[in-house]
């Protein structure tokens, strides 16, 4: 483990950005989002989480995946990807880091998504432990430790120092370029800090989420529960929960005629929308109840059954904080299992 005085963090960021593009949480227009680092950009050290997750770096909200030029009957495919350029993301929280493993299950399974794969290979993820988890957080319900965030490099900010621990080959390689500014230490200084984080996390109101009913009950029984007839009614179908979620992976692909070229775009979609996956005969889930049920059945039942029990939620709390109707995965999971 290594450490650096907190008042030298700008020096660290400048060094990282000189090696490859650096992105970190910064405040803009009153909201904290990942921004490209440059001199004058302040790291939002006090922010728990960004509005949207770090998923954007590997599965962008909008992506130009191909372009075609037609000359008579000849079709030319134009290369427009830049997914192999190395980059660093600093300040990823433990929940978002855990979401990458879920996305890997989707995009790196056969057939592998080359756009996602290239970005995963190019990106180095530096996680930062959560000094004070929020009341909307419940990552511990999924075995995620906010005091021990996974990533290529893990960082702890406490007692005036930044503590730095490489965890992967990419992390080790990046650290080799910083040995002149990072001082070696045994890491014992962060033990009490980690204990404090764990104590806070385990006492949060949503931390005791119990999913045993979802794990042990037949899929058809949950699907047919009469509870769905009531709990969906507050849902506006706005899709906000899906767009702030770090594990949602639904997308649509559209072609656009741009004059000399035709461009194929991939963009996020939401199972909460009435036109989601609309086929020739229309959306197979025609009511808001069906769409609401699909979202939570997928996260809590379908995905785990197809991925070794891995629940498609990391407890980041974004849906808890964002839903205009106060609906979220915790309330839904408890209502279905209690009734």
pTM of this prediction?
A: 0.92
The confidence score (pLDDT) of residue 339 equals 60
What CA–CA distance (Å, rounded) separates 211 from 198? 21
Residue 154 predicted with pLDDT over 80: yes
Of 116-120, 128-132, 199-203, 262-266, the poorest mean pLDDT is in 262-266
Tell me the pLDDT band of 279, cut-offs 50, 70 and 90: low
Per-residue 3-state assignment (H helix, E strand, C coil) for the chain: CEEEEHHHHHHHHHHHHHHCCEEEEEEECCEEEEEECCCCCCCCCCCCCCCCCHHHHCCCCEEEEEEEEEECCEEEEECCCCCCCCEEEEEECHHHHHHHHHHHHHHCCCCCCHHHHHHHHHEEEEEECCCCCCCCCCHHHHCCCCCCCCCCEEEEEECCEEEEEECCHHHHHHHHCCCCCCEECCCHHHHHHHHHHHHHHHCCCCCCCCCHHHHHCCHHHHHCCCCHHHHHHHCCCCCHHHHHCCCCCCEEEEEEECCCEEEEEEEECCCCCCCCCCECCECCCCCHHHHHHHHHHHHHHHHHHHCCCCCCCCCCCHHHHHCCCCCCHHHHHHHHHHC
Q: pLDDT digit string (tens) for 34-91?
A: 999 998 889 999 888 999 999 999 999 998 888 888 887 788 888 766 657 899 999 9
Q: How many residues does the chain have?
A: 339
Are the beta carbons of 167 and 154 closer than 8 angstroms?
yes
Q: What is the mean pLDDT of residues 229-258?
A: 92
What CA–CA distance (Å, rounded) separates 57 from 68? 25
Q: pLDDT digit string (tens) for 301-335?
A: 999 999 999 999 999 999 999 999 988 899 999 99
How close are the terminal C-alpha atoms of the chain, in Å? Answer: 49
Torsion of CA 154, 163, 199, 95, to 10 degrees: -20
* Alpha-carbon separation of residue 40 from 11, 43, 92, 96, 162 (angstroms): 12, 10, 21, 26, 20
What CA–CA distance (Å, rounded) separates 113 from 170? 21
Q: What angle do CA 133, 134, 135 make, to 5 degrees?
A: 130
């Amino acid at each position: 483990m290594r450490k650096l005085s907190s008042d030298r963090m700008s020096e660290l960021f400048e060094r990282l950005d000189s090696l490859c593009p650096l992105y970190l949480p910064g405040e803009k227009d009153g909201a904290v989002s990942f921004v490209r680092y440059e001199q004058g950009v302040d790291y939002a050290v006090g922010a728990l989480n960004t509005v949207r997750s770090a998923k954007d770096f590997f599965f962008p909200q909008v992506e130009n995946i191909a372009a075609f030029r037609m000359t008579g009957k000849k079709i030319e495919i134009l290369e427009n990807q830049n997914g192999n350029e190395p980059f660093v993301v600093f300040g990823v929280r433990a929940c978002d880091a855990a979401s990458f493993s879920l996305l890997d299950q989707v995009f790196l399974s056969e057939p592998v998504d080359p756009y996602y794969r290239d970005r995963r290979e190019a990106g180095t993820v530096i996680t930062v432990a959560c000094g004070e988890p929020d009341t909307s957080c419940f990552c511990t319900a999924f075995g995620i430790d906010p005091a021990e965030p996974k990533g290529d490099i893990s960082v702890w900010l406490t007692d005036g120092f930044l503590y730095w621990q490489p965890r992967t080959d990419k992390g080790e390689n990046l650290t080799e370029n910083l040995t002149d500014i990072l001082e070696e230490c045994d890491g014992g200084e962060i033990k009490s800090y980690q204990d404090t984080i764990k104590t806070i996390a385990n006492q949060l109101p949503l931390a005791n989420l119990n999913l045993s009913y979802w794990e042990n009950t037949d899929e058809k029984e949950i699907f047919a529960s009469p509870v769905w007839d009531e709990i969906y009614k507050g849902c506006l179908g706005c899709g906000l929960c899906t767009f702030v979620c770090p594990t949602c992976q639904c997308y649509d692909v559209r072609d656009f005629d741009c004059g000399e070229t035709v461009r194929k775009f991939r963009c996020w979609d939401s199972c909460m929308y009435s036109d989601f996956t609309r086929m020739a005969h229309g959306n197979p889930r025609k009511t808001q109840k069906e769409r609401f049920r699909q979202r939570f059945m997928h996260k809590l039942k379908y995905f785990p059954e197809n991925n070794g029990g891995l629940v498609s939620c990391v407890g980041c709390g974004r849906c808890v904080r964002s839903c205009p109707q106060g609906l979220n995965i915790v309330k839904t999971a408890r209502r279905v299992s209690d009734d």
